[in-house]
Amino acid sequence: MVNIFTRKITDELTSLVKQMDAVVGKNKSERMASFVVLLTDDPDEGEEQLAAFAKKHKIKNIPLTVFDGLAGPPAYKIAKDAEQTVLMWQRARVKANHAYTAGKLSDKEVKIVLNSTKKILP
């Protein structure tokens, strides 16, 4: 399972989600799954943004959802200064945790995140 939390939709996030969508699609037989959670204080606007995002970028394998509140779900302990946080787990154990402050999710970091999916695939 790959969970992508974000507080902002950026070009870099778009790149990550599009590529992760392809990885999930290729690994459905391995039961790989992912979802994106937009952390926002305006969930109605967030839902509209995500619907437009999914349509524009043809996201087919990853559900996009919102969480009401910039802090995110308390159990996930999302860093306050992280614009994006990517958690990967298998059998209820976190196998990878990547957090990026504003502007730090570069193409290089996207490749690192995608490479981390090897930790959760058989």
pLDDT score, position 122: 86
Question: Cα(71)–Cα(59) distance, rounded to whole angstroms?
Answer: 25
* Intervals of the chain under pLDDT 70: none
For residue 107, give its domain range: 2-119
Beta strands in 49-106, from DSSP E residues, in sequence order: 64-68, 84-90, 93-100
The pLDDT score that the predictor gives to residue 82 is: 98
| 44 neighbors 60 (Cβ within 8 angstroms) | no
* Number of compact structural domains in the chain: 1
Under 8 Å CB-to-CB from 102, ≥6 apart: which residues? 8, 83
Question: Which residues contact residue 53 at a Cβ distance below 8 angstroms, ignoring those fewer than 6 apart?
Answer: 9, 14, 17, 59, 64
Which 3 state secondary structure label does DSSP give 39? strand
Asked if residues 2 and 22 have their Cβ atoms less than 8 Å apart, the reply is: no
